[in-house]
Amino acid sequence: MSANPISRCAPVWVLLLLCGSWGMSAAWAADLSVRENAGQLEFFVDFLAGTRCEAEGGCAVTLRSQDGTAQAGRDYVAVDRTVRWRQGDEGARSVVVEIIDNAERDGNRTFTLVSSDAVGLLQTGTRSVEIIDDESSPLATGSSSTVTAPATEIGDVIDLVCPQIQNAEDNTDAAALRRDCNSLLAAEQNNDPQFAAALRSIAPDQVGASVGVGRQTMNAQIKNVGTRLTALRENRVGVLSGLLLRMGDHALAVEDLLPPSGAGAGETEGVGSPLSFFINGELSAGDRNGTTREEGFEFTSTGLTLGLDYRRNDGWVLGAALGLSSTTSDFDSGGDLEAVGTFATFFASRQLSRFYIEGGATVGISAFDQARKIQYTLSDGTAVDQAVSASFDGSEYSLFFNTGTELLLPRQLSITPRARIELIQLDVDGFTEDTVSASGDAGDGWRTRIDAQNSRSFLVGLGAQISWIRNRENAVWVPYGALEWVQDFDAEKSNVSGQFVGDPTGETFVFVSDSPDDSYYKLNLGTSVLFTGGRSAFIDYSNLLSIKHNSVHSFNLGFRWEY
């Protein structure tokens, strides 16, 4: 919005003056339009230029909304307010109408703003407001199953920008955008059946994945530190942490499992030393299903963490760890995104019999490398085969607190109720795409400049794990199952905004994400086995339940042995 929208409004022969939030002037007699994903429409009520409120009791006007094809509560938030000035006041009063976004292809809708009951003002009237559906732009020809919200948004911006840059001052970026614009506009005018596919390829909808990939990269560090904290719950030190049977988020010490037979695996060096060293690794994989708002992708993530912890005489354990993690994502369109993060974690733990408390903080920085492809062929023979890339940075912060207690049951069963709280903040820097293919080639004008992004989560988890210890002649088997309910109290849609690099008007496109999963369940099933001689192995299956777009089925297999 312009810093002073009123100053851009021309005088008119009515008392009310209205300006859109984009800073363009319009009289109260002019109708308005707003994109569905804009979030709000802001307009200003003012006096005629050079006048002010002269009424002794002050001036006022009542503004109300009336439904048309757009309905209050579904498409916008109803307006019913009185705008007031004291005697002698001058200047505009702002009125904001909240616009409700949805994922439905419900077409453009209209409602009416009515000004009435004027005191000290001379004019009243009605104005029509059109909400432009961002899922069904007339630009995006093709079947509804292939039209995406980012493509529609890009189409709207192209229709605004391209006519305005025909006489813009020439530079390399503007000339490239004008060339690609003219080719695409010709395809639109000719009802080219390839037009929708071109918009989908131009739209940089994968840029919104940066926050999620950065979070996955940090998760490797958090899980690796969690493995060490699990060992500390058993009051073990030194290399003994390597002799724990992993069972989801829980572990059992080997000396608690091995049948007595002289010197067991629990008799290791380092027991009694207050200082211990650990090294842990993590491997995970998953995918996200594509929707009309976000592109699908598959990812793999690895992480390695090294740390030290110190056991105090009062029972507290204080520790620090450094980690390196990497996540690679392959998008359905052929692009990719890689994040490499470096992390530092500081933590503390206290064991009170079978009850434990622990907490810590993680900070990190990540380097991102992104590449995407712009590929389409129009019916007139225009072929675009362009690759663009960008490198940018991000930062991550996390605070966590865990607590729980282990309850022993008959028949070598145990159950561990537990609870956790975690705060996560991720910030990703803005970036400008560069051309990978030869600069000046067709499609070079579609490069974008993306604004900074951020995300925050406040997670609360409640769950329990049940384990069953089975002693055999040459091994100890521990099958287990765990279920946790997770609630994210800060989950909300995220917006990614940007502009075309060559656009001198600075017109901004906005991509709105799908509604995030704010509540879900995590299920773990598996078994651990400890062989004689300190060798161990585990297999684990995990699945996230009650989530809308992600399909996450994970198998983990691990081996461990003592030198």
pLDDT tens digits, one per residue of 466-487: 888 888 777 888 888 889 999 9
Map residue 184 onto helix, strand or coil. helix
Least confident range from 91-100, 168-177, 230-239, 548-557: namely 230-239
- Per-position b or e across 42-62, b if 16+ CB within 10 A of its CB: bbbbbbbeeeebeeeeebbbb
pLDDT of residue 530: 74
Tokens at 17, concatenated: 């003056």
Q: Please state the length of the chain.
A: 563
∠ CA 520-526-528, rounded to 5°: 140
Contacts (Cβ under 8 Å, ≥6 apart) of 336: 328, 329, 330, 370, 371
Distances, alpha carbon 477 to alpha carbons 215, 356, 483, in Å = 34, 25, 20
pLDDT of residue 421: 96
Check whether 399 has a pLDDT greater than 90. Answer: yes
Least confident range from 34-48, 120-134, 262-276, 445-459: namely 262-276
Map residue 7 onto helix, strand or coil. helix
Do residues 1 and 42 touch, judged by C-beta distance below 8 A?
A: yes
Share of the chain above pLDDT 90, in %: 24
Check whether 461 has a pLDDT greater than 90. Answer: yes
Q: Where are the domains of the chain?
A: 32-132, 208-261+272-560
Measured CA to CA, the distance from residue 323 to residue 306 in angstroms comes to 6
Distances, alpha carbon 58 to alpha carbons 43, 46, 90, 121, 528, in Å = 21, 14, 11, 10, 79
Comparing 39 with 426, which gets the higher pLDDT?
426
Amino acid at 123: Q
How confident is residue 141, by pLDDT bands cut at 50, 70 and 90?
A: very low
Comparing 90 with 357, which gets the higher pLDDT?
357
pLDDT of residue 78: 93
Check whether 451 has a pLDDT greater than 90. Answer: yes
Do residues 281 and 303 touch, judged by C-beta distance below 8 A?
A: yes
pLDDT of residue 266: 33
Measured CA to CA, the distance from residue 201 to residue 180 in angstroms comes to 13
Average pLDDT in the 111-125 region?
Answer: 74
Share of the chain above pLDDT 70, in %: 77
pLDDT of residue 459: 94
pLDDT of residue 391: 95
Comparing 557 with 211, which gets the higher pLDDT?
211
Tokens at 334, concatenated: 């052929």
Do residues 195 and 184 touch, judged by C-beta distance below 8 A?
A: yes
Nearest 10 degrees: CA dihedral of 424, 429, 432, 438? -70
Check whether 246 has a pLDDT greater than 60. Answer: no
Measured CA to CA, the distance from residue 377 to residue 391 in angstroms comes to 28
pLDDT of residue 232: 63
Q: Which helix (H) or strand (E) holds 179?
A: helix 172-189
DSSP sequence for 117-173: EEES----EEEEEEEEPSS--TT--S-GGG--HHHHHHHHHHHHHHHHTTTSPP-HH
- Which stretches does DSSP call E strand in 36-134? 40-45, 59-67, 80-85, 93-98, 109-119, 125-132
Q: Which helix (H) or strand (E) holds 182?
A: helix 172-189
Comparing 158 with 313, which gets the higher pLDDT?
158
Least confident range from 43-47, 118-122, 148-152: namely 118-122
Check whether 546 has a pLDDT greater than 60. Answer: yes
Comparing 29 with 190, which gets the higher pLDDT?
190
Measured CA to CA, the distance from residue 462 to residue 423 in angstroms comes to 15
Classify strands 244-247 and 250-253 as parallel, antiparallel or unpaired.
antiparallel
The label of the residue with tokens 């000339």 reads 175
Assign a CATH topology to domain 32-132: Immunoglobulin-like (2.60.40)
Comparing 269 with 216, which gets the higher pLDDT?
216
Amino acid at 465: Q
Classify strands 32-35 and 125-132 as parallel, antiparallel or unpaired.
parallel
Do residues 391 and 360 touch, judged by C-beta distance below 8 A?
A: no
Average pLDDT in the 234-254 region?
Answer: 40
Do residues 293 and 512 touch, judged by C-beta distance below 8 A?
A: yes
pLDDT of residue 472: 75
pLDDT of residue 417: 94
pLDDT of residue 272: 46
Least confident range from 56-70, 199-213, 216-230: namely 216-230
Check whether 231 has a pLDDT greater than 90. Answer: no
Check whether 147 has a pLDDT greater than 70. Answer: no
Q: Which of 46, 69, 81 is nearest to 128 (CA)?
A: 69
H-type helices in 367-410, by residue range?
A: none
Q: Return phi, psi of residue 187, to 5°.
A: -65, -40
Map residue 428 onto helix, strand or coil. strand
pLDDT of residue 40: 83
Tokens at 65, concatenated: 């909304």
First to last CA, the chain: 66
H-type helices in 279-357, by residue range?
A: none
In sequence order, what are the beta bridge partners of 447? none
Amino acid at 539: I
Q: Which of 536, 426, 418, 422 is nearest to 476 (CA)?
A: 536
Average pLDDT in the 383-405 region?
Answer: 93
Amino acid at 444: D
Measured CA to CA, the distance from residue 11 to residue 45 in angstroms comes to 13
Q: Which helix (H) or strand (E) holds 366?
A: strand 355-377
pLDDT in tens, 486-504: 999 988 777 889 999 988 8
In 10 A of CB 324, how many CB atoms? 17
pLDDT of residue 126: 82
pLDDT of residue 557: 53
- Per-chain mean pLDDT for the chain: 77
Helix, strand, coil proportions of the chain in percent (round to 5)? 15, 50, 35
Amino acid at 64: R
Check whether 262 has a pLDDT greater than 50. Answer: no
How confident is residue 287, by pLDDT bands cut at 50, 70 and 90?
A: confident
Assign a CATH topology to domain 208-261+272-560: Lipocalin (2.40.128)
Check whether 342 has a pLDDT greater than 90. Answer: yes
Check whether 17 has a pLDDT greater than 70. Answer: no
